[in-house]
Structures are given as structure tokens and as C-alpha cells.
Amino acid sequence: MELGVASYLKKINKSLILSKIIKHGPISRSDLAIITKLTKATISAQAANLLEEELIIESHTEYNSVGRKPIMLSLRTNAGYALGIDLDYRDIKFTVSDLMGNPVHTDRVELKNSNYDEIIQILINQIRAYQQKFSHSHFGIIGVVIGIHGTVTNDKIISFVPQHRWYNKDLKTDLEKNVNIEVTVENNANLCAFAEKVFNFHQCTNLINISMYSGIGMGFLMNGDLVKGYHGFAGEMGHMIIQPDGKPCNCGKSGCWELYASEVSFFKQISEKLAKPILNYEDIKNLVIARNPAVITAMDEYIKYVSIGLNNIINLLNPETLVLNSELLKQFPEAMSIIKSNIKTSISNYKEIYISDLGTNACGMGACALAIKNFLELPDLSLTINPNVLVHCIESKGIS
């Protein structure tokens, strides 16, 4: 019993020390002892183990005072790599990051259809290719996390993906039978919320992320933990009915929020009005600048519906921070001021609202961060990333 307790305490101490090295590194052993409130002997023993495992490295820093230069400890960022996958309905985006969450490689594979078996094979081929590509590192690919644009149960079964029309798919098991690595399946909005917490809002414990691309999903962190609900379906706010007897939805009901406030619904509407089947964000930006009547009217209507849904969410959950993951809203400079005005009432209350800086990278980065957290067995994870890393990360169709 005593051995078990000692082993458990060592594991807890290791996780604590490693999380502080990640957050504050490079950091000296003496500073670690102060931050963690652990003894210097415990710090030294754990550091020796982490060095032996090749998870951390030692280095000297600039030191102007008289005396011995302190030896600094840092995470060995290239000791392993995390693979995050954003499985949407038009394409699959793959993100590989180092152990500090910095993306080092991204790929996008377009999907020709929703055939489950064909998509499984794409995933298997890509995962195997990444395992080979990063096999030179000490740990290789340390985990795979896949973001699903649909409902995922607490035991990681895909319950329903509206765009693909998938029901009850055990993607985790189907992949693990073919690749020698642990696979985690999670709702994409949950991963986006986790990414915002890990990379941007370290101190925030009550955060909501609204992902607004191919549909609308909500990730909700309460007291720092994801809220998933009884079966794991919490956060499906895209299927909140805001227009009784409105447009029919793939979920089987009518008038769902995502039919009026998702980006795919907006682009579909504008494409029909302008008779232009292919439009991108730059096109919308230019049309807004030109004050195109059809686009301005559609944007006003879009923002109205976005605000209605946000007002409902704020009244229901009273969040500290709201993050809107939308590239479309960035194209309309007045969008946030209008939204803030629309949701300001004597009842609704929140602290702050932002448009996400992570954008379409959020799901993949959140997936990588979760893989890192699981691999290192950390109680908490805070990472800082240079925004330029996202800009310069090269995308291609398939791994090279």
C-alpha cells in the first residue's frame, strides 16, 4: 500500500514539474522548487528521470552575477510529435505539431464523397505516412486526436455526423485495428474550445467557443473542464431552433440556428443571389468594401441571427469569455460592434467576446494539444505559440 502511494505521489510530482517546465521554461531547478513548493531533492530526482527519458534538456543561460551559472531546464520539443485531424465534410486537415504545440507540418486532403470506408482508408494511409516521416524522433507520433463535426459519445463513438450522414461509427476502433497508435475521437467544437484555453486564455476557467464554419458547434469549459453532458452531446447549439417552421435541417427538425448563422449557409445564400457558385473570404471582403447591396443585406441578416443565438447562450450559461470562431465575421469590420450592441441587455451578462485568432487552425491545434496533454499525463496545459508559425506552415494535398 505504501509503495502504491509513493508511486502515485511520484507520478503527481512528475506531472506538476513537467507542466511548470512547459509553462515557464527555460527554468532553473531552484525556481521550480519555489513555484511547485516541492523540495529541491524531489526536483533534482524528477529532473534526472525526465532527462533520462529524453523529455527535457539542460542549457546554460546568460548570467551576469558572480557565481555559478544556473542550469536551465526546458522541454525537448522535438522528442515527439502530435497529430491532430480535423475531419470536415469537404476535406480533412492534418496538423502535426511538436511537443510545445507549434505546427511543423499541415496537409489538406479533399473528400470526393462521404463513403465511410474510403475515408477510413485515407486516414490510415496518412497516419502511417506521418509515423514514417517522424520516426526519426525519440517518441515518434505520440498520439492521434480527430475532431468530428457531429455528436461524439462519452465512450468515443460517433453518434451522428449530419453532413456525412454517418450514424454510430466506431472510428477509434476501426483505425486502431490498422495503425499501431492510440486514437482519440472528440467533437470539433470541444477541441476548438480546448485550443483557445491552451493557447490564448490561460487564466480563463469559464469559456465558450462557437465554431461557425460547416455548421455551428459549441465547446464549453466550466471551471477549466469541458462540459460534455450525460451522453457527450452537450454543445450542439447549432440545432437550437430559432425559427419555428423554418428551413428543414439534416437533423430532422426545422429552423435550426446553423441554417441561418453558419458560414456555409451564408455562402450558399450569396452564391445563389449573385449567381457565383464559387466564392471565398477574399471575395466577400471585396464585396463588403464595394458595399454590394446583396452582400450587405445578407450580412446584416446573418449578424442578426448570430446575435439571437448568442443571446440565448449567454442567458443560459453566463460565460466569462465568448470566442467566435469565424473567418466570415473578420471580413466585416463593423460585425463585432453590432453583435455587442445586439446582445447588450439588462439581463444578459458576460465578461468579454472575441473573434478567434486561431481560425480554421483551432480544431487541429486543439487536437494536437490534447494529444500532448494525454501523452505527458498533465493535469493542465498552457502553451504559447508565435502567430507567424500558423501563417508560414505550408499546406499541401497529401503528405510529401
Put the strands of the sheet holding 217-222 in their side by side order. Answer: 225-226, 217-222, 206-211, 321-325, 352-355
CB-CB contact of 160 with 253 (8 Å): no
CB-CB contact of 385 with 366 (8 Å): no
CB-CB contact of 147 with 364 (8 Å): yes
For position 230, what pLDDT does the model report? 84
CB-CB contact of 395 with 91 (8 Å): no
Dist. CA 331–CA 232, nearest whole Å = 33
More confident residue, 65 or 228: 228
Quote the cell numbers at residue 299: 450580412
Average pLDDT of the segment spanning 101-122: 95
CB-CB contact of 381 with 191 (8 Å): no
Q: What is the pTM of this model?
A: 0.90
Cα-Cα-Cα-Cα torsion 12, 181, 134, 380, nearest 10 degrees, comes to -30
Residue at 27: amino acid letter: I
For position 261, what pLDDT does the model report? 95
Nearest to 281 by CA among 339, 361, 213: 213
For position 322, what pLDDT does the model report? 95
Quote the cell numbers at residue 204: 480563463
Half-sphere exposure at residue 362, Cβ-oriented, CA atoms within 13 angstroms: 31
CB-CB contact of 155 with 195 (8 Å): no
Q: Which residues contact 88 (CB under 8 A, 6 or more apart)?
A: 149, 163, 188, 213, 214
- Is pLDDT at 66 greater than 70 in this prediction? no
Average pLDDT of the segment spanning 189-205: 93
Nearest to 282 by CA among 328, 336, 324: 328
Helices and strands of the chain, counted as H and E runs: 13, 16
Interval 273-294: pLDDT, tens: 999 988 999 999 999 999 999 9
Mean pLDDT, the chain, integer: 90
Residue count of the chain, please give it: 400
Q: What are phi and psi of 302, to 5 degrees?
A: -60, -50
Dist. CA 147–CA 318, nearest whole Å = 26
More confident residue, 385 or 280: 280
For position 399, what pLDDT does the model report? 44
Average pLDDT of the segment spanning 376-380: 90
Query: Which CATH superfamily includes the segment(s) 81-193+361-392?
Result: ATPase, nucleotide binding domain (3.30.420.40)
For position 67, what pLDDT does the model report? 57
What is the percent of the chain with per-residue pLDDT over 90, rounded to a whole number? 73
Nearest to 379 by CA among 13, 30, 5, 3: 13
Let me know if the fold of 2-75 is the same as that of 202-356: no
Query: Which CATH superfamily includes the segment(s) 202-356?
Result: ATPase, nucleotide binding domain (3.30.420.40)
Average pLDDT of the segment spanning 240-252: 91
Residue at 169: amino acid letter: K
For position 310, what pLDDT does the model report? 95
- Is pLDDT at 57 greater than 60 in this prediction? yes
Dist. CA 336–CA 208, nearest whole Å = 16
Looking at residue 69, what DSSP letter applies? Answer: P
- Is pLDDT at 123 greater than 80 in this prediction? yes
Dist. CA 356–CA 196, nearest whole Å = 8
Dist. CA 252–CA 254, nearest whole Å = 7
Domain boundaries, the chain: 2-75, 81-193+361-392, 202-356
Average pLDDT of the segment spanning 346-359: 87
For position 247, what pLDDT does the model report? 94
Dist. CA 86–CA 1, nearest whole Å = 44
Average pLDDT of the segment spanning 106-129: 95
Interval 201-240: pLDDT, tens: 988 989 999 999 988 999 999 888 888 888 888 888 999 9
- Is pLDDT at 374 greater than 80 in this prediction? yes
Dist. CA 350–CA 118, nearest whole Å = 44
Q: What are phi and psi of 287, to 5 degrees?
A: -70, -35
Interval 151-174: pLDDT, tens: 899 889 999 888 888 999 999 999
To the question of domain 2-75 being in CATH 1.10.10.10, the answer is yes
Q: How confident is the model at residue 115 (pLDDT cuts 50, 70, 90)?
A: very high
The verdict on whether omega for the bond into residue 319 sits within 30 degrees of 0, i.e. cis, is no
Q: How confident is the model at residue 398 (pLDDT cuts 50, 70, 90)?
A: very low
Neighbouring CB atoms inside 10 A of 69's CB total: 11
- Is pLDDT at 347 greater than 80 in this prediction? no
CB-CB contact of 227 with 199 (8 Å): no
Strand duo 103-110 + 91-97: pairing:
antiparallel
Strand-pair partners of 102: none
